[in-house]
Structure 1
């Protein structure tokens, strides 16, 4: 089996490459500049030399088509795009374009190839917006509240449309927050972990955060890539929520992170209005029962194991 991972340099792309290699796949991975990219995640996992790296611009149809013809994949995993919710408010056009044009080009290329290539698309829980404390299901309507969420909602609708209109095997994993040591520093969980470690080592700095009352469902990224693969092994394509089903506040995450290091978070954390987004979700809650029932998948690690794993 051959797999093409579009966006292999990110957290999920790196863990997915590792997972597929262990399954015996020949793995191809793309980056806009394969020669100049560092591929820290692949190096961290010790697999950089095992992945065939290709340069590809997801927003350039010809570039996408060439990469598919070179790799001749059985499965394509689309994980590319501007992945920060916060940054999407500063770069809305780039964010929306990176997801919608990217997946559209992949779907069009697969349709043209006409040989049954399976497509996985990375959706996001952010597309649901605020569900007023109710656990989101696959049938919950999208109400995006950020340019990032809007982009993910639009790209998910594109996948659903192509699946229905052209009978493609195309599915979306609607992933809730999932973390690992490969999370970039701009993500709040990595910021918390790294700042707490520096403070534990003697730094006098404060951890500066925005809202602490927001709640999220945090899982362990290496587990989530298995769910992506399982979706592609089903007889029929469908969309699935991937989450732990447990929601905790950011304050709880901070508290537990400092507690692991024997510190009281209240002595080391300050809030800043500058870090509060124009719109934000108060509570993100998931019902992952469909994935358990149809894929046989459920999260094993909760917030405590996630924090310890990141540490």
Structure 2
């Protein structure tokens, strides 16, 4: 194995990806950004526990000069750009920041990779973590790689720009690909996400720590998969003979209410409606009602398929939160 450079390494996908690459014997480099006041990324210690040999570089993805310097110094064979604003809700409050970090910064990564390839004469492979949000409220369901890109949120718009830039640099003969990722979960999902809010809420209510879980819309449909499966898809895409775009999804839709029902059932609460309240303050503007992906191309060309059923995904997250409470861990609200 060669050298891999991963941005967004302390996130859910980044941590699984760094682990997988290290197991393969790759030299793994990670870009980590310090928080406000220079605070260390709170996920770094855990990441270093999971990936002891990880080589960490501090820097901001939005700093083009830093990105260019690191890519030149590391000279990676594979670049996985997973960094960016991860919350659609956050993007509505911070559209400019979202555009810079999740959109414009991707152009810096691609350009730095292209410069490295031009200078060394060897293939540099780049994977951009794209999103189903680029399709917005799509005119067709399920969505494929051919579905029109017309986002309806600042998050989706930033991802759409990045997605188009992948195509631009692919035309310049950079091996640049995009994984159009649909929702995917695991116990490593941060607590700010609604799925983790649900599983933590179910665990806390079952433990008698809370009585009510407050959410936004319950009837939107999403295509939920297992994060390690999606990370495996990323490495398959990077190593595919031809650079291309691939939808990564399960093709099975569930509502938020379904997620709540399964989570509460896992802790023995059947009457989940008695514990759940909805608040318009948590409803996103212009949220797509249905996101459902068709991963036929990935199945056909990559041999990829999801391994874990929806109920198993939810159960693993709930069990994790139950264990955290039992161990006196992060059972309190984030």
Superposed pair shares fold, TM > 0.5? yes
Mapped to 1, the partners of 2:315 and 2:43 lie a distance apart of 21
Query: For the aligned residues, what is the CA RMSD?
Result: 1.6
Residue 61 (structure 2) pairs with residue 58 (structure 1) = yes
- The aligned counterpart of 2:88 is 85
Once the two structures are superposed, residues 244-298 of structure 1 have per-residue CA deviations (whole angstroms, 9 ceiling, x without a partner) of 1100111111001001111021111001111111210101111100000000000
Which residue, 122, 134, 157 being the options, matches 2:129? 122
Match of 2:161 among 130, 139, 154: 154
Once the two structures are TM-superposed, the CA of residue 204 in structure 1 deviates from its matched residue by 3.5
**C-alpha distance after superposition, 1:136-177 (max 9, x if no partner):** 00000012111001111110001111111x110000000000
- The range that moved more, 210-219 or 64-73, is 64-73
Number of aligned residue pairs: 310
C-alpha distance in 2 between matches for 1:293 and 1:55: 39
| Partner of residue 171, structure 1 | 177
Whole-angstrom distance in 2 between the partners of 1:293 and 1:6 = 28
Return closer, same or farther for 1:44/1:57 CA change in 2, 3 Å cut-off: closer
1:21 aligns with 2:17: no
1:137–1:288 CA contact under 8 A, matched in 2: yes
Gaps of 5+ in 1: none
Please, what TM-score do these two structures have when normalized by structure 2? 0.89
1:72 to 63, 70, 75: 75
- Residue equivalent to 1:3: 4
1:235 corresponds to:
241
Question: In the TM superposition, what is the alpha-carbon distance from 1:205 to its structure 2 partner?
Answer: 3.0
Residue in 2 aligned with 1:306?
313
Deviation at 1:131, TM superposition (A): 2.3
The whole-number CA distance in structure 2 between the counterparts of 1:300 and 1:19 is 16
Could you tell me which residue of structure 1 aligns to residue 323 of structure 2? Answer: none
1:223 aligns with 2:229: yes
Does residue 144 of the first structure (1) align with residue 154 of the second (2)?
no
Name stretches of at least 5 consecutive residues in structure 2 with no aligned partner: 319-334
**What CA distance in whole angstroms lies between the structure 2 residues aligned with 1:38 and 1:90?**
22
